[in-house]
A = this chain, B = another copy of it.
Amino acid sequence: MANSSSGDSVLGRALRVFDAFELDKPALTASEIARRACLPVATAYRLTCELAELGLLERAVDGRFRVGVRLWEIAARAQVARGLREAAMPVLEDLHAAVKEHVQLGVLEGREVLFIERLSARNAVINVTQIGGRLPVHASSAGLVLLAHASAELQTEVLAGPLRRYTPDTPVQPRNVRRIIAGIKQQGYVVCPGYIHADAMGIAVPVRDACGEVVAAIGAVVPVRGTQPMNVVPALLTASRGISRALGATADPQPRGAVDPQPRGRREPTAAV
């Protein structure tokens, strides 16, 4: 905690500043940031100026702030950007060339899918996904695939929460979602017609790393009418295998005692923070 009355550290506040930038709001004034981040103007102003000095924010001509290239550059070093994306990209391109529809790559982040990459078809169905965008796991094809291979805790956690309905076809009954999940485990893919948008159908398959763990999902978004899912699924499965192979080759310089399921001899559940 910092000197703040609101009781959070400088870093926490800086993060709130960044979080003020939504995907569709790339430029904000100092006061807008203050409002969105729940900070006193003076503080927001000081912070943004400092961040701008460091290059993490940029200042446009009209005085508004935007997220800076510098930050992007640092983020390019993130695992997700380096390992996964790099392995997936060429394969994704091939896939995109084959099925001429939107194709995308997503990972599980919290209780949502975070989309890492997307290649869009020029005149294909609408697709709400954006790179860096999120969708709830229960409604998106990639999300359901990831949920199916997630821990039991996460599954119950998600199913317990309210499940947003996008269309009349969105599965919002826990029972339904459970059935879909079971189907995925059995068949290895999922087809989601109209779950998010009436005209769009998501199709997705899991992507495994070298150890066989599901680390991501790739999917296609196609028109509900006029598409035989079974023309797409094999392509997705092939692509998935291709990515897994590439991931295997990427093998991080294995740390010694690599797989270490149990946290080593911790002495105690250390007093709560």
Interface residues of A (CB under 8 A from B): 9-12, 14-15, 18-19, 21-27, 35, 47, 50-51, 54, 56, 58, 60-62, 64, 66-83, 86, 89-90, 93, 96-97, 107, 109, 114, 119-120, 122, 131-132, 252-253, 255-261, 270-273
Give 18 new A-B contacts, CB below 8 A, not counting A26-B82, A62-B255.
A11-B14, A11-B50, A18-B77, A23-B76, A24-B253, A24-B255, A25-B255, A67-B75, A67-B77, A69-B79, A69-B80, A71-B71, A72-B132, A74-B75, A75-B76, A76-B131, A81-B131, A86-B131
Expressed in whole angstroms, the Cα–Cα distance for A253 and B22 within the complex equals: 13
| Distance to closest chain B CB from A115 (angstroms) | 9
Q: A19-B74, A75-B75 are in contact. Are A50 and B132 (CB under 8 A)?
A: no
> Which residue on chain B has the smallest CB distance to residue A83?
B26
Expressed in whole angstroms, the Cα–Cα distance for A69 and B132 within the complex equals: 10
B21, B51, B56, B73: the one within 8 Å of A132 (CB): B73
| Distance to closest chain B CB from A207 (angstroms) | 16
A to B CB contacts below 8 Å, 21 in the list: A10-B10, A11-B50, A11-B54, A18-B77, A22-B77, A23-B76, A24-B253, A26-B77, A26-B82, A61-B260, A62-B256, A62-B271, A62-B272, A64-B255, A69-B79, A69-B80, A69-B107, A71-B74, A75-B76, A89-B119, A90-B120
Inter-subunit contact B77/A132 (CB<8 Å): yes
Inter-subunit contact A61/B14 (CB<8 Å): no
Q: With a CB–CB cut-off of 8 A, which chain B residues contact A14?
A: 11, 14
| Distance to closest chain B CB from A99 (angstroms) | 14
Q: A18-B74, A58-B79 are in contact. Are A252 and B122 (CB under 8 A)?
A: no
Expressed in whole angstroms, the Cα–Cα distance for A28 and B79 within the complex equals: 12
| Distance to closest chain B CB from A22 (angstroms) | 8
Q: With a CB–CB cut-off of 8 A, which chain B residues contact A72?
A: 75, 78, 80-81, 132
> Which residue on chain B has the smallest CB distance to residue A75?
B75
B54, B78, B86, B107: the one within 8 Å of A68 (CB): B78
